[in-house]
Chains A and B, each alone.
Chain A
Amino acid sequence: MSTATQPQQATPSEGAGPQRARPKVSLKATVVYALAALVTLFAWVLDTPADTRTTFQFGTSGDVVSIPNIPVPALGFLVVLLVVMLAATGFSFWRWRERRPLPAWTHVVVGVAFVLAFLTFVGAGRSTVIPMVSLLAGALALSVPLVFGAMSGVICERSGIINIAIEGQLLFGAFMGAVVASAAGSAYLGLVAAPLAGALVGAGLAWFSVSFRVNQIIVGVVLNTLIIGLTGFLFSTVLSDNKALWNSRMPLPRIRIPLLADIPVIGPVLFNQTILVYLMYALIFGLQFMLFRSRWGLRTRAVGEHPKAADTVGIKVNVRRVWNTILGGAIAGLGGAFFTVGSGLAFGREMSAGQGYIALAAMILGKWNPWGAVMAALLFGFSKNLGNVLSSIGSGVPSELLLMLPYVITILAVAGFVGRVRPPAAEGVPYSKS
C-alpha cells in the first residue's frame, strides 16, 4: 500500500533545510562521541575502585600458541579508553569546523573503546574472566541467520517487494533442513532442502503480492503465522511420533581452514566454522558485487526504484520481482538451516524466535545495502551475545536493558537520528502496465 510510505516522502522532515547548500557534515557524530565519553566518565570511571583488575581471556583451548589471560588494571585502562574517546570527540569537532566529513574508522574506534570500557567496568574486581573469543564467536553465531535474512530482504526490497516473511522463511528453512537432514542421514542434504523450503515461502509471497496484488505486508505477516502454525503442528504430531527418523540432531562438521584459523582471537572465530558460514561470506561479497556491478543488479534496482521506466526499456518488472522474491526466500531458508543443522540442534517449536524481524531491521539500519546490513546484523548479534554473556557472568547491569539496545538503535535509525534512511521508491507498490 502506497499510503504507508507516501507521507514520508511528501513531508521531508529534515530540519536541515537551509544547511543544504554547504557540504553536508553534521555534528551528530561529535555529540554521540561526547555522550559515550560522558557515560564512560560518570557511570564507569568514577565507580571503579582504584586497585581492581579486569582479566581478559584471549585464548581458546585448541590454540597452537597459547595466549595467557591478560589482567589489566581496571581504572587505568578505563582512563586510557576515556582519553581515546575524548580525543575522537575533539577530532570529530575539528573536522566539523573544517567542514570535512569524518572518516569511517573513527566510528569503529569509538565503538570498540566504548564496548571495552563497558567490559572493563563489568569485569573489574571479579574473579571471572571476560572471554573475548567466545564473546566474538557467539556474536558471529547469533548474526548468521540475521545476515542471511537481511540479504534476503535486500534482494526482495531492492526489486520492490517488502519481505516481512523473512521470519517464516527462516523458520521453514530450519524445519525442512532438520527434517530432510534427519531422514536422509546427511546434514548436507538438509542444506539443499532448506533453501527450497524458503523459496517456497518466497514463492507464496510473490504469488499473492504480484498475481493477486494483496498488500505485501499483510501477506508477509500472515505467511509468518502460517509457517509458525504449520511447523508447530507438524513438530508435535509427525516429528514427535518418530523423533529418531524425522528430528534427530544432524550437526554440520566444522571445517578448519589451515593457516587462517591459527590467527589469534579472530582466527578461531572466523575460520573454524561450518560450510554454512563460509557460504555466508561468499554471499555477502557476491551480493555486494552483483547488486551494484552486474546487469542483474542494475535491473533489480531499476525495478525497485522506477518500475515504469524499467518496463519502458524492456525489463519485465513482475517477472523480475517474482524471481527475486523466490531467490530471497531461498537465501533466508538457507540461513534458517543455521538454527538446526548449522548449530547441531534438533528442530524446536518457533525456534527462529523473531530473528526474521530483526533481520529486517538490520537491513533497514544498513540502508538496503548488503555491506551495511551485515554490519547492522553483526551489531545486533554482538549486543545480544553481550547481554547473554553478562547475565552468565552475573554483572549488576540488567541484561534486559542491554538486550533492548538493538531495537532502540533501530528505532532511532528509522527516525532519522542515524542519518537519512531511504527505502527503494517503488517498494510495496504493485506494478501493472496501464
Chain B
Amino acid sequence: MNEQNRPDAGEEQSVAATPPAEAGSETGGPTVREQERPGVLQQILGGSALMSVLAVVLALFIGGLLIAFADEDTREAATYFFARPFDTISAGLSAMAEAYVAMFRGSVFDWQAATFAGMVNPLTESMVFAVPLILAGLGIAVGFRAGLFNIGAQGQIIVGAIGAAWLGFAFDLPPVIHLLAAILGGAIGGAVWGGIPGVLKARFGANEVIVTIMLNYIAVYLISYILKQPGFNPGRTGQRSPAVSPDATYPLLVPQWLWPDNGFRLHWGFVVAILATVFVWWLMERSTVGFQIRAVGANPAAARTAGMSVGRITIITMVVAGALAGLAATGQVLGTERSLTAGVAASFGFDAITVALLGRSRPWGTFFAGILFGALKAGGFLMQSLTSTPIDIVLVVQSLIVLFIAAPPLVRSVFRLPDPDRRRRRKADTRTTQEATA
C-alpha cells in the first residue's frame, strides 16, 4: 500500500495524504479534482456506489457459502465429493437459493401470501426494523463526522428507553402531548448518556471509545436494577414494565380505516426517522454547528486555530448523537414493544455502527443502509423459521459488508477492477514530468 501514499506531484499531496481506505472519516472516496476528472466509466467503476453494491454482493455470496456449508444435505453429498462433485455443488446451491429466497420473501415481497396486504407486509416489516437502526445509525454517523467513535449507542438506547417508557406509563397527559413528551423523554435520556463521554472527553481528555463501552455495561445493569424497582415493576411479574399508555404510543402509519385488515406494524416512528434524517442533513450540511463538527472531525488542531471550541463541539456532538440514539429507543418502546423490557435495545446499538459505516456517515446513506439492514433482519426471521438457517448469518453478512466497504482495494482485487487512484496518479506523474522538461 505504500505506493498509494507516496507523495507525488505537489498538488496531489493533499489527496494522497488522506488514507485511501478510511471509512467513517470525512472523505467518503478519493477526492477528484476538477481538472483531472476521469471518464464516466472510470468514475462508475471506481465510484463508491459501485463499491457498496459489490461489497453487498460479495458479502451475500460468502454468507451463502456458509449456509451451504452448514446445510446437512450438502455435507452429506460432500462425503462422496470426489465421486460425484456435482451433487455437492447443486445441494449447496439449492440450500443457498432456498435461504435467500426466504429472506427476500421476509423482507421485500411475499408472493405466496393470500392478500395483497400480506404480500407487501414484509416490506413494511423491514421498515419497522429499520427505524431504530436508522436513528441510532444517524447518531453514530454524527459522531464519526466529528472524529468521535461513539460505541455507546447501545447504552444510549437503553437509557433513552427508560426515559420514554417512564414518561409513557407513569403520567397521564392529553393524547398528542403525551406522545411528544415520551419521545422527548427518550431523546433526553439518550442525550444525557451520550453527553457523559462528551463532557469527560472535553474536560479530561478521556477516550470516548472506552467510556462509551463502559457506559453500555452500566446501562445494562441500570435497566436490570430499575426493572426490579416497585415503580417500574409493580406486580414483580418478571422483567417487564407496565404497558405504555395508548396515548403515548406511535399510531400506525397505515390506519385500519384507510386499508382494512392490513396488519402492518409500521408506525409513525418511521416518519420520525425520516425527519431525523432531514434534520441531520440540515445540521451537518447547512448549519454553523455542523460546519464546526466537520471541521473538528477533519482536523481538530486547525479547528482550534480557527477559533472553534473543540471541547464544546465534542459535547454538542455527543449530546446530539445520544439524543438520536434515544429516539431510536422510542421506535422500540413506543412503537413495537410498548413497554420496557431488559432486552429493549436488542443489538441495535451495535448494528447501528455497521449501518453508519455502510452509509459512510452521510445522513441519506445511513438512511438507506438502515433500510437494507432492517430488511436483512426482517428477512432473517422468516429465513430462520422456513429454512432453519439461523439468523446469525445476518450478522456475518452485515460485518462482511462493512469490512469490504472499508477496504475497497480488496473488493477491487476480487472483481479485477482498475484502481482509479493509480490511473490518476500516473496521469499526474506524466504531466509533472512534462512540466519539468518544458
Contact = CB atoms under 8 A, between A and B. Distances in A.
B407 A212 contact: yes
Interface in A64-85: none
B409 A212 contact: yes
B211 interface: yes
A230 interface: yes
A230 B396 contact: yes
Contacts of A47: none
Contacts of B297: 3
Interface residues on A, range: 35 or more
A381 to B, nearest CB: 15
* Interchain residue pairs A-B with the least CB separation, the first 8: A229-B395, A3-B147, A232-B392, A237-B70, A400-B225, A8-B205, A226-B399, A229-B396
Interface string A1-35: 10111111111110000000000000000000000
B396 A1 contact: no
A427 B201 CA distance: 18
B222 interface: yes
A235 B395 CA distance: 14
A410 interface: yes
B205 A214 contact: no
A233 B397 CA distance: 11
15 contacts: A4-B207, A5-B207, A13-B205, A164-B209, A212-B407, A213-B22, A214-B406, A222-B399, A222-B402, A229-B392, A232-B392, A233-B70, A358-B217, A400-B222, A407-B218
B310 A232 contact: no
A225 B354 contact: yes
B220 to A, nearest CB: 9
Contacts of B390: 232-233, 236-237
B37 interface: no
Interface string A184-213: 000000000000000000000000100111
Interface in B175-225: 200-201, 203-211, 213-215, 217-218, 221-222, 224-225
A58 B213 CA distance: 37
A222 B407 CA distance: 13
A433 interface: yes
Interface in B335-371: 350, 353-354, 357
B7 A211 contact: no
B1 A361 contact: no
Interface in B119-159: 147-149, 151
B217 A233 contact: no
A426 to B, nearest CB: 15
A10 B300 contact: yes
Given A218-B24, A414-B207, A398 B228 contact: yes
A430 interface: yes
Majority secondary structure, A binding face: helix
Interface string A219-245: 101110110111011111110010000
Contact of A361 (B5, B214, B400): B214
Contact of B403 (A219, A354, A410): A219
A432 B221 CA distance: 43
A410 B214 contact: yes
Contacts of A233: 66, 70, 390, 392-393, 395-396
Contacts of B206: 411, 414-416
A208 B402 CA distance: 12
A292 B369 CA distance: 46
B79 to A, nearest CB: 14
A432 B392 contact: no
Nearest to B203: A13
A403 B214 CA distance: 12
B403 A222 contact: yes
Interface string A396-411: 0010110110011011
Contact of B402 (A6, A218, A228, A400): A218
Interface string B14-41: 0000011111110000000000000000
B148 to A, nearest CB: 7
A375 interface: no
Given A360-B210, A434-B5, 8 more contacts: A7-B300, A8-B205, A218-B23, A225-B399, A230-B396, A360-B213, A401-B225, A432-B2
Contacts of B66: 230, 233
Given A222-B403, A226-B400, A7 B209 contact: no
B311 A228 contact: no
Contacts of B350: 221, 225
A351 to B, nearest CB: 14
A241 B200 CA distance: 49
B431 to A, nearest CB: 21
A230 B22 CA distance: 25
A404 B151 CA distance: 18
Given A1-B22, A215-B406, A400-B221, A232 B301 contact: no
Contacts of B330: none
A377 interface: no
A358 B225 CA distance: 20
Given A4-B149, A411-B215, A10 B221 contact: no
A8 B207 contact: yes
B357 A361 contact: no
A93 interface: no
Contacts of A225: 350, 354, 395, 398-399
B314 interface: yes
A421 to B, nearest CB: 9
